[in-house]
Amino acid sequence: MSEPSILLTIAVLGGTGKEGKGLAYRWAKAGYHVHIGSRTREKAEATAKELLGLLEGEAYIVGMSNLEAAQQADIAVLTVPYAAHRETLESVKDALTGKILIDVTAPLVPPKVTKVQMPAAGSAAQEAKQILGEGVEVAAAFQTISHEHLLQDEDIECDVLVTGTSKQARAETLKLVAAAGLTGWDAGPIENSVVVEGLTSVLININRQYGSTHAGIKITGATKQKIE
């Protein structure tokens, strides 16, 4: 198991879902301390136990409430459905002050999930920034990554676009993208998250139209620089 240069504790809020579980698995395998957060502690503990089993105990994963996870983390990752977005953010707002939140949420509105439907704030990430205030840096990432392969030890042929409120927030997020075994790109300010989040509906539509489960995107024509 590789060790990151600085050992961080990552809170995966709503980490009992498929996307959160897959990301938590990859970060724990990379050597990070991972706290699985949930509205229900028992579900979080069960997910942590499941992931520890997959990693044969060679990891640090603990289940707890969303609030406890946010309080104890260096960086938080929000992986809840959009319907729970505002409620979850408001419940952990004070605990995130001075930290970075990576918002994985795509503003899908069932039943028309193949149609792009952005919130009044412009995007889920911009909405998160409005809720959390100036004391929290917000980045958006992983909206174009299907959960299908995150729990598998295999390469994923899909890139991650990262937007955020500052260069530092995007840089820290890109480190976690790399730790998850994925290729990330700095896609600019948080206002650009409207495009990235909207791609989720586009990819869902492609999956349905062409019988796939994990359509993704790749950036071509640019040279990837190593993030130190």
User: What pLDDT is attached to residue 5?
Assistant: 43
Decide: helix, strand or coil at residue 61.
strand
Q: In the structure encoding, which two tokens stand for residue 51, read together? A: 């992931």
d(CA 76, CA 142): 14
**Element spanning 82, H or E:** none
Report DSSP state, residue 132: H
Q: What is the largest CA-CA distance in the chain?
A: 47
Q: What is the DSSP string of 166-190?
A: SHHHHHHHHHHHHHTT-EEEEEEEG
The answer to whether position 222 is within a domain reads no
Q: Are 175 and 144 in contact (CB under 8 A)?
A: no
The answer to whether position 195 is within a domain reads yes
The answer to whether position 227 is within a domain reads no
d(CA 36, CA 65): 8
Decide: helix, strand or coil at residue 83.
helix
Q: Are strands 159-164 and 137-140 parallel, antiparallel or unpaired?
A: antiparallel
The answer to whether position 27 is within a domain reads yes
d(CA 82, CA 107): 5
Q: Number of structural domains, the chain?
A: 1
Residue 17: domain span: 9-210
The answer to whether position 4 is within a domain reads no
- Residue 122: CB atoms within 10 Å: 18
The answer to whether position 68 is within a domain reads yes
Q: Are 122 and 196 in contact (CB under 8 A)?
A: no
d(CA 64, CA 131): 23
User: What pLDDT is attached to residue 2?
Assistant: 42
CATH number of the domain that 84 lies in?
3.40.50.720
**Element spanning 105, H or E:** none
The answer to whether position 21 is within a domain reads yes
d(CA 153, CA 163): 27
The answer to whether position 158 is within a domain reads yes
User: What pLDDT is attached to residue 3?
Assistant: 45
Q: Are 2 and 31 in contact (CB under 8 A)?
A: yes
pTM of the model: 0.93
Q: Print pLDDT tens along the chain (228 aa).
A: 444 445 689 999 999 999 999 999 999 999 999 999 999 999 999 999 999 999 998 899 999 999 999 999 999 999 999 999 999 999 999 999 999 999 999 999 999 999 999 999 999 999 999 999 999 999 999 999 988 788 888 888 899 999 999 999 999 999 999 999 999 999 999 999 999 999 999 999 999 999 988 899 999 999 876 544
User: What pLDDT is attached to residue 228?
Assistant: 42
Q: Which residue has the tokens 């977005």?
A: 85
